Structure 1
Amino acid sequence: MTTFTPTSAEEVLSAVQWAVSESAPLEILGHGSKRGIGRPPQTGHALDLSSLTGVTLYEPEELVLSARAGTPLAEIENLLAQNGQELAFEPMDYGPLLGGQQGRGTIGGALSANLSGPRRIKAGAARDHILGITAVSGRGEAFKAGGRVVKNVTGYDLSKAMAGSWGTLAAVTDVTFKVLPGAETETTLVLSGLLDDAAVAAMAVAMGSSAEVSGAAHLPETASARIDGLPKGAATVLRVEGFGPSVAYRINHLKQAFGLGAEAVTISAEASKRLWRAIRDCAPFADGTEKPVWRVSMAPNEAHRLVMALRMQTAADAFYDWAGGLAWLRMEHESEAELLRGLVKKLGGGYATLVRASAPQRAANAVFEPQPAALAALSARLKAEFDPQNILNPGRMG
């Protein structure tokens, strides 16, 4: 097996052109923090972009940052924090959940996996913040899309097409993202002891209020017990971010909405950040095992019904993010894909992704939600346009 470790976009182009000329499929990866997601690689060679690093442009006043694809997310987030800014889409770190190290994700991987976190309900995902890319297609052709300024929309949709493509369309070498000012502070209000259905109703009230909630999650008792700093029992957590006086006012507004007094539990500043990082990174299920973990997005008022129906037939642990619209599930058995997807369809539809499982299980099941026929045909045409020989990450998405 040959592993290419380019340090420039030109070397990436040469590597892909060689692969095209030899009809030799390539696995595209950075540090491999998300390597366990998707079908196991079906390649004899790898294109390792982890040496393609460095921030190439950062203009805080213009809210724009450009970097090479292999630049660690942690490095970028530290730079932004020094300037009071952030990646507003709050990209998840899959490393610990998949048995790897924390902080190994790259900015190119964030785009490829279309990462997001609890703030997605307010700020969207990586797709909503990408401004431009430079990449090499599976044809062995270098191309650019988008630009370096927020107002430039030329090629914007092409940049978005890379989001969630998992390296199957092009090897992205450089990215430009919109960045935003970070919050001065944050406070999380904790509602204790709610059952799943009551928690979803409470989160809907919070999201419909004027408190501008930027995170709404529910952790049943089993999940809550695995996160430090939460009171005993089930915890429904609501995050408010911004300037200090505004945060205090909006938290009081939420307390009044739920009939809570001054004794209501709140978590502030760094402790709140640690809590939401744990929720973002699925810490309750980062247990060092290969027990299947599913990520299911569907209507907020249906996800808890899915969990209830699932538990009637099999053992499953769960917690909820995105005001109930995202259910994280840890299963005890590996043969539940058909059952789970059948229930999702029965309850109005959604997207179920097998995030963690053994290699044989990932090889035997559709890891990503099967697309409807029309969308599958469009995806196939896009793949044929960018990578007609199926050189890049073949088979990863099914």
Structure 2
Amino acid sequence: MLDLAAETARPKSAAEVVDLVAEAGAAGRSLEVVGGGTKRRIGAAAADAVLSLAGMSKVIDYAPEELVLTAQSGVKLATLERLVAAEGQMLPFEPPHLLGLLAARGHPTLGGILAANLSGPRRIRAGAARDHFLGLEAVTGRGELVRAGGRVVKNVTGYDLCKLIAGSWGTLAVLTEVTIKVLPAARTEQTILLFGLDELRAGEAITRALNAPAEVSAAAHLPQAVAARAPLKGELAVTAIRLEGFAASVAARADGLVMALKSFGRAELIDVDHSREFWAQIREVEAFKNDPRPLWRISAPPAAGWRVCEALQGEALYDWGGGLVWLLSESEPARVRSIVRELGGHATLYRGHGGAAFEPLEGPLAALTARVKAAFDPNGVLNPGRMARP
């Protein structure tokens, strides 16, 4: 991974990105594509130079009445969050910043969040980042400018390039401009806490809550050892369920859900300020930010997620609503991935071990991925080695 102070190009327009990528391809050179640079250590690219989009940070169009926002990909996530909040709106997929967790400098960008397809606890209700990705302008590894999508959800037929690019971590194309959907922010929220449940029992409680007519917007479980860490510093395991919306609706749904969960023990309701603080801690995985052990981000079916820590030595934080498990474990990467695959999921190494961050692909999926890569970036110009070793 190159030092950002070294050979770094900082284009100001899509035309400049086209020229830079085309020149790199013609010269047989490769580029590490970064936004704010906050997630560079996750599957670090082995490139000849850095292409930073931090200078492409303009909000091009924001129409609050239409719930649509278009911006250059290098715009800071925090800038957008403040902008939409001033209009009583929100980024519905609740994107994490993860600065403390990754000990990162800089600021996460909208393009980086979409390229990584990162979502927070609200994914259970609102969907993932890719579900709100309406349109794009991007430069392929061939040095070609492409556009796809638009300002409405149903706007194209054929291939959905937005969903293809989301989660590709800059290996297919350089995002230069993106259009996303925003939503009205919840008027208030309330969180129900249950205490002292083990993973299996917590899973049962969350399943009951999700199956109830309560419109749950987030659900998580912190085992006792994790709940005892800063910043929560609790004495018992904590199982949390969030409700959002209008005050009267939230209160009525909370009362009904407390009754539905009474067999799981004492329930405690926390107010809107404490609820927002709690879910910010879950979103940013605050409990694990100072632990030096290797950290895994595991996606698994929610019904099987609790078995991850049962099968592997370590500590887990369950962002259960999204089928997401954050696992601290010294177990060998091959063992972690093998067990997670058996559970029907996949694992990404966010910190530690020094090995490949992403799940190695095999068989038909590997062949399909190689064909897609060849179509977009046949010469391996963009982020070589980030998601797969060259």
Q: Scaled by the length of structure 1, what TM-score is found?
A: 0.92
Structure 1: where are the runs of 5+ without partners?
none
2: distance between equivalents of 1:100 and 1:268?
31
Which residue, out of 333, 337, 347, partners 1:341? 337
Kept in 2, the 8 Å contact 1:131–1:156? The answer is no
Do residues 389 (structure 1) and 379 (structure 2) align?
yes
Q: 1:189 to 1:156 in 2, by over 3 A?
A: farther
Q: 1:138 maps to which residue?
A: 141
Amino acid at match of 2:9: F
Conserved in 1, the CA contact under 8 Å of 2:73 and 2:110?
Answer: yes
The one-letter amino acid paired with 2:360 is: P
Paired residues of 1:220 and 1:319 also in contact (CA < 8 A): yes
Structure 1 CA distance for aligned equivalents of residues 191 and 223 of structure 2 = 17
Whether 1:51 and 2:55 are equivalent positions in the alignment is: yes
Q: Which residue of 2 aligns with 1:259?
A: 262
Aligned pair in 2 of structure 1 residues 378, 59: CA closer, same or farther (>3 Å)? same
Q: Show the counterpart of 1:291.
A: 293
1:351 counterpart = 2:375:
no
| Secondary structure in structure 2 of the residue aligned to 1:265 | strand
1:14 to 6, 10, 19: 19
Match of 1:26 in 2: 31
Cα distance between partner residues in 1 of 2:234 and 2:47 = 48
1:307 partnered with 2:309: yes
Q: 2:315 & 2:103 partners in 1: Cα distance?
A: 19
Would you say the 8 A contact 1:304–1:324 is kept in 2? no
The structural deviation recorded for 1:232 is 2.6
Q: Matched residue of 2:134: which SS?
A: strand
Deviations along 1:313-339, one digit per CA (max 9) or x if unpaired, are: xxx1111013382211012x3x51122
Please give the secondary structure, in 2, of the residue aligned with 1:277.
helix
Residue equivalent to 1:214: 217
The answer as to whether partners of 2:59 and 2:75 remain within 8 angstroms in 1 is yes
- 1:26-85 deviation line (CA, Å, top 9, x unaligned): 0000111111111x3211201011111011010011110000000000000111111111
State which drifts further: 182-191 or 217-226. 217-226
Shift in Å at residue 150 of structure 1?
3.3
Deviation at 1:149, TM superposition (A): 2.7
Query: Using the alignment, how far apart are the partners of 2:142 and 2:61 within structure 1?
Result: 28
**Counterparts of residues 48-87 of structure 1 (less than 5 Å):** 48-87=52-91
Is the deviation greater in 149-158 or in 164-173?
A: 149-158
What is the deviation of 1:147?
0.8
Distance in 2 (alpha carbons) for counterparts of 1:374 and 1:229: 45
Q: CA deviation at 1:282?
A: 1.1
Partners of 1:337 and 1:52 lie apart in 2 by 37
| Structure 1 CA distance for aligned equivalents of residues 16 and 166 of structure 2 | 23
Residues 333-365 of structure 1, C-alpha deviations (whole Å, 9 max, x = no match): 3x511221222233x3211111111xxx33xx3
Indicate conservation of the 8 Å contact 2:300/2:344, yes or no.
yes
Matches for 1:207-246 after TM superposition, within 5 Å: 207-228=210-231, 231-246=234-249
The match for 2:370 is: 380
- Where 1:111 maps in the other structure, the secondary structure is helix
Shift of the 179–324 alpha-carbon distance from structure 1 to 2, 3 Å rule, reads: closer
Matched, 1:268 2:271: yes
Query: How many pairs align?
Result: 383
- State how far apart, in whole Å, the 1-side matches of 2:111 and 2:170 are: 9
Paired amino acid for 2:200: D
Whether the 8 Å CA contact 1:131–1:146 is kept in 2: the answer is: yes
User: Which deviations, in whole Å up to 9, do the C-alpha atoms of 1:78-121 show, x marking residues without a partner?
Assistant: 111111111111111122111124x8110000110001011111
* Compared CA separation, residues 132 and 324, structure 1 to 2 (3 A): closer
